[in-house]
Amino acid sequence: MTKKLRLGEFLRTRRAQLQPADVGLPDFGERRRVPGLRRDELAQLAGVGLSYYTRLEQGSSLNASPEVLEALARALGLDEVERAHLHDLASAPRRATTRPRPAPERVGDTTRQLVDAFGDAPTVVLGRRSDVLAWNRTGHSLFAGHLDPRSPDQPDQRPNMARLVFLDAHTRDLFVDWPKKARNVVGKLRLAAGRHPDDPLLASLIGELAMKSAEFATMWAEHGVRKWALAAYRMHHPVVGRMELNLQSLNVPQDEGQRIVVATAGADTASAAALSLLSRLDTPTAPGTGHRAPGTGHRAPGTPKPRNRGTHADGRQQPSLNLNPGAA
């Protein structure tokens, strides 16, 4: 889908979510043929011509000035993240050329040092497509203990957080607040798609998720964008049980699009105790090897044995899924 069509879809979706009363327009109780505001009402609010706005929405024009975009953003009541997304969608498209496959994202040495500095706090590094580029031992144990701990080191085997959230039964069970997590994931992918419209791997990932998950397709059609720095989730880990965790996202300044996500819990809480217990559990054996991942220790005395990979906590088998981006 071209940037022109993406811009038009975003404007239509946001216009449909507003009622006349929301923006101070009189509502005489007439039966409206379209949900939300009409095009002429939004154009009037933004102070732009109806024919010009119609061309923007229909994708026949992509030359809106920053001033027009700001006027539309104010009329639609967009927040800061949505405004930035609107400007990304309206930016001039690059000349279509054949581009080589993007080089795999890599984690720099200073980023790995920062991950190490977080100690036992569960930590993962995500790329711009939500690929897991790195994690520490507890990050692996918390988010994807059923996967090979060394998979982020192999670009064609890297887990992808969006795939895990929508297609993996273990991750779906992990998030008690699954709809909240799912919408945050979709919102981040929307932002990435606006900033990198020519990324074939990102487009392939979005297409795959839309085909395999009706829930993803529905959320994607809403055109919601999210840029969260802190989110609280209720989680249920199959070994250490229920936790209330804060996930904090830190941008990696030297690598655009990469972010470090760290999980923490309130001091002296049951959730903090569960995280402490998680840090003392064995890391699962990597598939195809007879060795545990480097840096693993023994299971804490008296703690339950982690369940086998591929099963739910109640013993049900998980479906076998291809969760690496190389197969997209």
Per-residue pLDDT tens digits for 194-213: 888 888 899 899 989 999 99
- Do 212 and 321 fall into the same domain? yes
**pLDDT value for 2:** 61
- Do 166 and 121 fall into the same domain? yes
Average pLDDT in the chain: 80
Domain span including residue 34: 3-90
**pLDDT value for 218:** 93
- Do 61 and 158 fall into the same domain? no
**Count of structural domains within the chain:** 2
**Domain at 189, CATH number:** 3.30.450.180
- Please, are residues 228 and 184 in contact by the beta-carbon 8 Å criterion? yes
**Three-class HEC string of 52-112:** HHHHHHHCCCCCCCHHHHHHHHHHHCCCHHHHHHHHHHHCCCCCCCCCCCCCCCCCCHHHH
User: pLDDT tens for residues 250-265?
Assistant: 999 888 889 999 999 9
Asked if residue 96 belongs to a domain, the reply is no
User: pLDDT tens for residues 133-175?
Assistant: 999 999 999 999 999 999 999 998 999 999 999 999 999 999 9
Confidence of residue 327 (pLDDT cuts 50, 70, 90): very low
Strand segments (E) across the chain: 123-126, 132-135, 230-237, 241-251, 259-264
The letter for the amino acid at 42 is L
Asked if residue 297 belongs to a domain, the reply is yes
Does the structure show a pLDDT above 70 at 100? Answer: no
Report which of residues 74 and 297 the model is more confident about.
74
Asked if residue 23 belongs to a domain, the reply is yes
